[in-house]
Amino acid sequence: MIQSPLKYFIAYKPYGMLSQFTKEGNNTTLAELFSFPKDVYPVGRLDADSEGLLLITNDKKLNHYLLHPTFKHTRTYLAQVDGAVTDTAIAQLNKGVTITVEGKTYQTLPAQTEAVEPPAGIPDRVPPIRVRKSIPTSWIRLSITEGKNHQVRKMTAKVGFPTLRLIRVQIEELSLAGMKPSEVRELKQEEIFKLLKIRSSNF
């Protein structure tokens, strides 16, 4: 059997889209972004109400390497949160907080978090987030090496600042920079491995 050539794509998943190719309900899917080869699939996922970077490939070894908890990879998010985030909340996130994962108590690893100005170049969300006139919103940049279900949202809620908008902007050095929502780019294996800080010898 002839093996298909390895293919690597990055996509800027927009709000409301499912991280899959199979149609489900009224949500759009990755199939509507691009004519992908039939044997590729997303590495990990973003919830429908989250936006940002997805890696899509048919490289099963890379998929295992990025998703297995033994091999930690930094994932970076921009989160617009409800309220004016405090230094105390930032410190708590950087130390690690207790959340619930699959009904069990879980202590997150220390994050790298900072309050940031509203990011330039990030388009408005469609539809826009809810806004309360009496309560401001603020932005944080948060990097973690874990990928628990709804982890970032649970972390910010734990410290009193629920996430209103969540965008994954980087995996290691693989970045959304210069991309627009719904855009797809194909990269070469050497580009992907360099940006993800992976040596081919790891495989």
108: nearest Cα among 120, 123, 92: 92
> How many angstroms separate the CA atoms of 119 and 90, rounded?
18
Q: What is the pLDDT of residue 11?
A: 98
Same fold, 8-69+177-202 and 75-171: yes
pLDDT tens-digit map of 72-105: 899 999 999 999 999 999 999 999 999 999 999 9
Q: What is the pLDDT of residue 126?
A: 86
User: How much of the chain, in percent, has pLDDT values that exceed 70?
Assistant: 97
**Alpha-carbon span 48 to 188, nearest angstrom:** 28
The DSSP line for 178-198 is T--TT-EEEE-HHHHHHHTT-
Query: Residue 40 CB: number of other CB atoms within 10 A?
Result: 19
pTM listed for this prediction:
0.94
Averaged pLDDT, 102-124: 94
Query: Helices (H), strands (E): how many in the chain?
Result: 4, 11
Q: What integer pLDDT is reported at residue 121 of this predicted model?
A: 85
- Residues marked as catalytic: 47
CATH of 75-171, one of 3.30.70.1560, 3.20.190.10, 3.40.50.300, 3.60.15.10: 3.30.70.1560
Question: What does the angle CA 28 – CA 12 – CA 32 come to, to the nearest 5 degrees?
Answer: 30
Domain boundaries, the chain: 8-69+177-202, 75-171
- pLDDT, tens digit (0-9, with 9 covering 90-100), for 13-47: 999 999 999 999 999 999 999 999 999 999 999 99
CATH classification of 8-69+177-202, choosing from 3.30.70.580, 2.40.30.10, 4.10.910.10, 1.10.260.40?
3.30.70.580
